[in-house]
Each structure stands twice: as C-alpha cells, then as structure tokens.
Amino acid sequence: MPAQILDGKKIAAEVRAEVKEEVSRLKAEGINPGLAVVLVGEDPASQVYVRNKHRACEEVGIYSEVHRLPAATSQAELLKLIDQLNKDPKIHGILVQLPLPDHIDEKKVIDAIALEKDVDGFSPANVGNLVIGDKCFYPCTPHGCMVLLEKAGIDPKGKKAVVVGRSNIVGKPVAMMLLARHATVTICHSRTRDLAAECRQADILIAAVGKPELITGDMIKEGAVVIDVGINRVGEKKLVGDVHFESAAQKAGWITPVPGGVGPMTIAMLLKNTVEAARR
Ligand code: GUN
C-alpha cells in the first residue's frame, strides 16, 4: 500500500495557529514577543528566507525587525549589533541568517547571541544543553521533524531510527532529540560502509544529507516513517529531496513530500521558539 503523506504545509499551519493564540495570551499579559533577524550581504536565497521569516512573524502578531547589513560589514560591527540586541528588552529572539560572508567568523557570532535569545538553537551552550537534556531551544528544522512524527502519532520509544547526515544544524541535533525520546539511533554519513543495509533497519528514517534522491525505495523497510529534510535544486526549476519519493512511497508507511514536508515546519518552529523565549 502506498505511504500516507505527512503534510508539512498543513501541520505547519496548525502550529502557526497555535502560536498566534499563544501570542494573544502573552499580549494580554503585557508581553509583546519580538524577533530580530540579521542578514549580512545579498545572498538571494537568504533574502527570501529572511523575508519569509518576517512575514510569518507579522501573520501571528510577533514583533519583528530585520537588520540588513552590507556584505562589507566588519565582524566587530556585527558583534556590536548583537550586543545591542542582547540588551534590547523588545527583542526575545535573535537570528543571524547563515551563511555569513567569509571574513566573519560564524562561530564567534553565534556564540555572542545571549543564550536566552538563541531561538535558532545553534550556540554551543544551547547544543550542550540539548545533549545533556537540560532546558534549551530545539533547533528549528530538527524540531519540525519531531513535530511531524508526533502529529503522525509515531512514538519513537524503542524504535530503530536512522539519521542520514551528521550536520550540526540537522543530523546531530535530530539524533539527540530521537535519543531523548528513547529511540535506538544510528547516524550515517559519507563514510558509512553499507548505507542501504543501515537504512533498511530503520522504523524511522531521517534523510538530511543534501544529495538528490540518494535514498531509494529498495533501502526502505516496509511501513517505515520517512522524513526527508533535503531540498535539492535539479535543473532550472525542479526541487527534489534526499529521498526518491516515488519508489520510497511504495514501501514507507508515512513519507514527507518535497516541497511541502519539513520545509514549512522550520519557520513555524522559529515562531514557536520566539514565543517560548518571550514566555520565559
Ligand atoms: N540558513 C539556512 N537555514 C538557516 C536557519 O535555519 N537559520 C539560520 N540562522 N540560517 C540559516
């Protein structure tokens, strides 16, 4: 039987509606949640992401300010802005859009964001708290994957989860979150000896490698839940995931489409984290 579709667009809309209600409750208590987004340079994809983040904030009633800085901005200037935002009581969340220009040390910049305002969840302190199971912000994309699982009624407890990809932004944090929910977790990467054999073990398969259609139907266990984080551009217009959708959907029990799966969840989770930061 073909897989059921995990509709990220629909689930993200539900999350945004919940966030909107929470924003109203906070405003009634005199708290006006605020997000600052910092964009350095003119990367076209980043410009689109930042615009979408700003719009999404407006839609749910979160105050949002976008700081667009020229590509030649020095690291010191950027750090000074972050320091100001750290101290600004209107701002509960700070997000510095990545990638940054080469002359800026990304790690230094992320580390400069106050821990209680790190709504992206990328700072070493936040990641440390995630690993030890302490209070933290869940990074937005992995958090989106977990909410998709939850909405599909899938409890990771005792299940075999395979994460393909070991990035700091998705692979590693999602593996930690699955572990915290009592899954048995394997992380695969470019040096994994037999990727197909590992994937075939997975009750939950998370693909986050950035390789178009790497995971094919023959690598999927019958009935598995397949979450595809990849967004790969092939040719002029077509977007495909890290999973070959047509063949995978013949084996999986649940599968996310690309586009319309994990993608819409990321911004919804950013809104959720911003509200959480304001609530704290
Ligand atoms: N660039 C691509 N994705 C992201 C993200 O989730 N957060 C930030 N800050 N930059 C990104």
pLDDT digits (tens, 9 = 90+) for 163-216: 999 999 999 999 999 999 999 999 999 999 999 999 999 999 999 999 999 999
Identity of residue 84:
Q
- Would you call 10 a catalytic residue per the annotation? no
In a domain, 173, yes or no: yes
Kindly state whether residues 99 and 158 are assigned to the same domain. no
Residue 139 pLDDT > 80 = yes
What gap in Å lies between CA 50 and CA 43, rounded to an integer? 11
Instruction: Single out the residue in 50, 81, 114 at which a domain terminates.
Output: 114
Q: How high is the pLDDT of residue 152?
A: 85
In a domain, 213, yes or no: yes
In a domain, 255, yes or no: yes
Q: Give CA separation, 218 vs 92, 193, 199, 224, 257, in Å.
A: 46, 17, 9, 12, 18
**Residue 243 structure tokens:** 């999973």
- Would you call 53 a catalytic residue per the annotation? yes
Kindly state whether residues 110 and 143 are assigned to the same domain. no
Residue 23 pLDDT > 80 = yes
In a domain, 12, yes or no: no
What gap in Å lies between CA 63 and CA 57, rounded to an integer? 7
> Of 7, 118, 120, 203, which one is the catalytic site residue?
120
Q: For ligand 1, is residue 96 a contact (CB within 6 Å)?
A: yes
Kindly state whether residues 58 and 104 are assigned to the same domain. yes
Kindly state whether residues 99 and 165 are assigned to the same domain. no
Residue 255 pLDDT > 90 = yes
- The 3-state DSSP class for residue 106 equals helix
Kindly state whether residues 97 and 41 are assigned to the same domain. yes
- Would you call 97 a catalytic residue per the annotation? yes
Instruction: Single out the residue in 80, 114, 148 at which a domain terminates.
Output: 114
Domain count, the chain: 2
DSSP 138: P
Kindly state whether residues 147 and 189 are assigned to the same domain. yes
Kindly state whether residues 108 and 175 are assigned to the same domain. no
Q: How high is the pLDDT of residue 257?
A: 97
Q: Quote the ligand 1 centre to 98 CA distance (angstroms).
A: 5
- The 3-state DSSP class for residue 99 equals coil
**Sign of the dihedral defined by the CA atoms of residues 151, 213, 127, 32, in that order:** negative
Mean pLDDT in residue range 246-263: 97
Closest C-alpha residue for ligand 1 atom 9: 97
Kindly state whether residues 258 and 146 are assigned to the same domain. yes
Residue 117 pLDDT > 80 = yes
Q: How high is the pLDDT of residue 163?
A: 98
In a domain, 133, yes or no: no
Kindly state whether residues 106 and 146 are assigned to the same domain. no
Annotated binding residue 167: yes
Residue 18 pLDDT > 90 = yes
What gap in Å lies between CA 247 and CA 252, rounded to an integer? 9
Q: Quote the ligand 1 centre to 106 CA distance (angstroms).
A: 12
Rg (CA), the chain: 19
In a domain, 120, yes or no: no
Q: How confident is the model at residue 237 (pLDDT cuts 50, 70, 90)?
A: confident
Query: What CATH number corresponds to the domain at position 41?
Result: 3.40.50.10860
Q: How confident is the model at residue 276 (pLDDT cuts 50, 70, 90)?
A: very high
pTM for the structure as a whole? 0.94
Nearest ligand 1 atom to the CA of 98 is 10
CA nearest neighbour of 163 among 197, 132, 135, 199: 199
> Which range marks the domain in which residue 166 is found?
139-263
Q: How high is the pLDDT of residue 236?
A: 84
What gap in Å lies between CA 62 and CA 35, rounded to an integer? 7
Residue 1 pLDDT > 80 = no
Pocket test for ligand 1, best of 54, 67, 95 (most atoms within 8 A of CB): 95
Q: How high is the pLDDT of residue 41?
A: 97
Kindly state whether residues 255 and 144 are assigned to the same domain. yes
Query: What CATH number corresponds to the domain at position 174?
Result: 3.40.50.720
Mean pLDDT in residue range 98-103: 96
Kindly state whether residues 191 and 144 are assigned to the same domain. yes
What gap in Å lies between CA 149 and CA 207, rounded to an integer? 14
Annotated binding residue 74: no
Q: What is the ipTM of this complex?
A: 0.92
Q: How high is the pLDDT of residue 268?
A: 97
In a domain, 275, yes or no: no
Closest C-alpha residue for ligand 1 atom 2: 98
In a domain, 276, yes or no: no
Q: How high is the pLDDT of residue 22?
A: 98
